[in-house]
Structure 1
């Protein structure tokens, strides 16, 4: 099993993108999500890319993409208590990107 924690240590929103599925989860400051796959191979299970959109950054939004690399595309995302965190978590209703 491959596991990675992502924590939002910023003062604003962190949008966690899970690729290649194109899923988004919006993290409040201080939130931690755990990403888990069943992959047990020798290659890297995940890769991470941070990126900037100037308009979003001025609105207090940062972006982080986690690519599920090994063992297929399926991954489970949970909060610190192990509760599932589904695509669209905390997404603002006015978000023009989704």
Structure 2
């Protein structure tokens, strides 16, 4: 089994994206998650990419993507107590509202194009 720890040592939110699935999990300051894969081969199981988004950074949000490089792309994410952490974990309400509004707008534009 391959395991990688992701720790938020910033003062704000850290959004951990599990790729290639595009799943988000939100870590509070000083929180640690473990990404676990069933992969036990010789190749790298994970790679990590950090990036800066000026709007996120001004809102106190940092981003990291954990890419599943080998094994099942449905890796398991757990907290420090070993509890399963699902997609959307601790996602702030204001982010849910913004993303929901953006999704609805995209659906309306798609429907208009089809009509």
TM-score, normalization: structure 2?
0.82
Structure with max Cα Rg:
2
SS class of match (2:92): coil
Q: Give CA-to-partner distance per residue, 1:1-31, whole Å, 9 cap, x none.
A: 0000100000000000000011000100010
Is 1:89 aligned to 2:89, yes or no? yes
Name segments (4+ residues, structure 1) moved above 4 Å.
none
Match of 2:105 in 1: none
TM-score by length of 1: 0.96
Higher strand share: 1
Structure 2 residues without counterparts, runs of 5 or longer: 101-115
Query: 1:18-37 maps to which residues of 2 (within 5 A)?
Result: 18-37=18-37
Considering Cα pairs closer than 8 Å and 6+ residues apart, tell me whether 1 or 2 has the greater RCO: 1
* Superposed displacement of residue 47, structure 1: 0.3
Q: Give, in angstroms, the shift of residue 97 of structure 1.
A: 4.0
Q: What pairs up with 1:1-98 in 2 under 5 angstroms?
A: 1-95=1-95, 96-97=98-99
- Matched residues in 2 for 1:43 and 1:21: separation? 20
Choose between structure 1 and 2: higher helix proportion. Answer: 2
* CA RMSD, 1 decimal: 1.0
Runs of 5+ unmatched residues, structure 1: none
